[in-house]
Structure 1
Amino acid sequence: MTWKLGHEIKAILFDKDGTLIDFDKTWAETNRKGAVIAADGDAALADALLVACGMDPVTGKTRADSMFAAANASEIAAHMVAHGSPFEPEELMRRLDKTFVEGAEKPWPICDLKALMQELAGAGLAVGIASSDGEDSIRRTVEVLELSSEIDFIAGYDSGHGPKPEPGMLLAFAAHLGVKPSEIAMVGDNNHDMELARAAAAGAAIGVLSGTGTRQTLEELADVLIGSVADLPAMVAAR
């Protein structure tokens, strides 16, 4: 039997990377650039920083719940400095943020996101994005994918609501819409998304297997696991 969203759910808050866009296809090249910048051009150190942040330098695959998969630019910068980057954390964070905004120019959508968002809107559901990426990068991704008119709310780690897995992004979305947190479903590919949902007392925590998270890493905290956001319309239709 298909798991379905309850009628009490009035909005969906999406993670971005690994949830709406393919993580490795979108970010592998950009994360390599970030590591080279952090290593100040030292190729061996750049590879070591990639490994420390969760990415295989050879395959470009990123581990579930690793720094690249789950952390924001400030946290990644601090982690890289702790693993040998010669920069000060604040300076490196600024450089990484700039690199991540540039990386937002080439997102790989998981599915036809415009059709998905329009279908959700047709079902009466508001839509927001909550990401560990910076707000400028998120907004650029939304613009490139031509989703600006479909997204009701955007929050990044630097939007003033606190980072994941704190509940602030979801609580801010609820306040923006004038609904209860229990009327929002959180959808994401990593444990920090599920932890955010639990911390905010969201109405549902939906894990997707299209990103860096796996069934093993997500099943304990998620209410349900789905292949990707492309499966959401069926869950909505089953209400």
Structure 2
Amino acid sequence: MKLDGILFDKDGTLFDFAATWNAWAASLIRDLADGDDALARRIADAAHFDLATDQFAPTSPIIAGTNREAAECIASALPGRDVDELEQEMMIRAASAPLQPPVPLEPLLAELAGRGLQLGVMTNDSEYAARAHMGAAGVADRFRMLIGFDSGHGAKPAPTPLLAFASACGLDPARVAMVGDSTHDLIAGRAAGMVTIAVLTGLAGPAELSPHADVILPHIGHLPDWLDAA
């Protein structure tokens, strides 16, 4: 089947999850703990984050959750901390995360656009962070839509934000691929009637992703070859 559009997840897909977010999370936790080692451990435990290795566990609810869910998770270890305030702080800090794409994004996206594909991003992060990250990577103008969990279309694993992209671009969802690193991405893609493409630049492995994926690729750089073969 010829595709007319590709919708990308952001974290773990356009950007390698561990390389981008492990150091950011470690810094956030230590700053919130303000020198209190016991508090830092409580925050890390709530986030399923290992302070000894500065790594998220694959079980972390933050990995595929919305920014609001991440703030609620952290706030559970900070009694009395206002969740709205914490969510705002995390959103602003996330906008300056050290982005690490698995391959240079501009040449890849230019090639995909050159094939006539309409491109978009749907992330469970905020739209603010999505725009900041795409701008910092120099590729914001490659996307027809940048959708966050707070853009008014819902969040994954619901299919509504994916269908919003297809509708805005005038595309048949069956001719759109959802590319992501988590089951949230793929379950949403299946529910929207889209082709589901899993990549291994998040924390989920093939065994977890394969029941929901039409194909599994090592990273997004393999998309052109897969499109040629398909």
What is the TM-score of this pair, normalised by structure 2?
A: 0.93
- Whether 1:173 and 2:165 are equivalent positions in the alignment is yes
Alpha-carbon distance in 2 for matches of 1:190, 1:199: 14
Distance 1:220 1:85 in 2: 39
Write the distance in 2 (CA, Å) between the matches of 1:47 and 1:13: 37
Q: TM-score under structure 1 normalisation?
A: 0.89
Q: Deviations over 1:140-166 (max 9, x none)?
A: 111111112211210011111111111
Q: Deviations over 1:75-105 (max 9, x none)?
A: 11212233444312222212211221232xx
Deviations 1:9-60 (A, max 9, x none): 2100001111111112211222123324544653322233223223222222
Confirm whether residue 215 of structure 1 aligns to residue 206 of structure 2: yes
Are residue 30 (structure 1) and residue 21 (structure 2) matched?
Answer: no
Q: Distance in 2 between matches of 1:111 and 1:67?
A: 26
Cα distance in 1 between the residues matched to 2:81 and 2:36: 13
In structure 1, what is the Cα distance between the partners aligned to 2:220 and 2:6?
11
Q: 1:65 to 1:231 in 2, by over 3 A?
A: farther
Query: Equivalent residue of 2:141, what SS?
Result: coil
What residue number does 2:219 align with? 228
Q: Flag structure 2 segments of 5+ consecutive residues without an equivalent.
A: none
Contact 1:39 1:46 in 2 (8 A): yes
Where 1:220 maps in the other structure, the secondary structure is: helix
1:183 counterpart = 2:175: yes
Take 1:208 and 1:88, find their aligned partners in 2: how far apart are those partners? 36
Counterparts of 1:162 and 1:46, CA distance in 2? 32
Q: Equivalent residue for 2:130?
A: 138
Percent identity between the two aligned chains: 34
Gaps of 5+ in 1: 1-5
CA RMSD of aligned residues (A): 1.7
Distance 2:67 2:224 in 1: 33
8 Å CA contact 2:46, 2:76 repeated in 1: no
Asked if the contact 1:64/1:217 (under 8 Å) is kept, the reply is: no
What are the residue-to-residue correspondences of 1:67-216 with 2, within 5 Å? Answer: 67-103=61-97, 106-202=98-194, 204-216=195-207
User: How far apart, in 2, do the equivalents of 1:65 and 1:232 lie?
Assistant: 27
Per-residue Cα deviation, 1:196-216 (whole angstroms, up to 9, x for no partner): 1122121x1111011111112
Secondary structure in 2 matching 1:207: strand
1:164·1:192 contact (CA, 8 Å) conserved in 2?
Answer: yes
Secondary structure of 1:19's counterpart equals coil
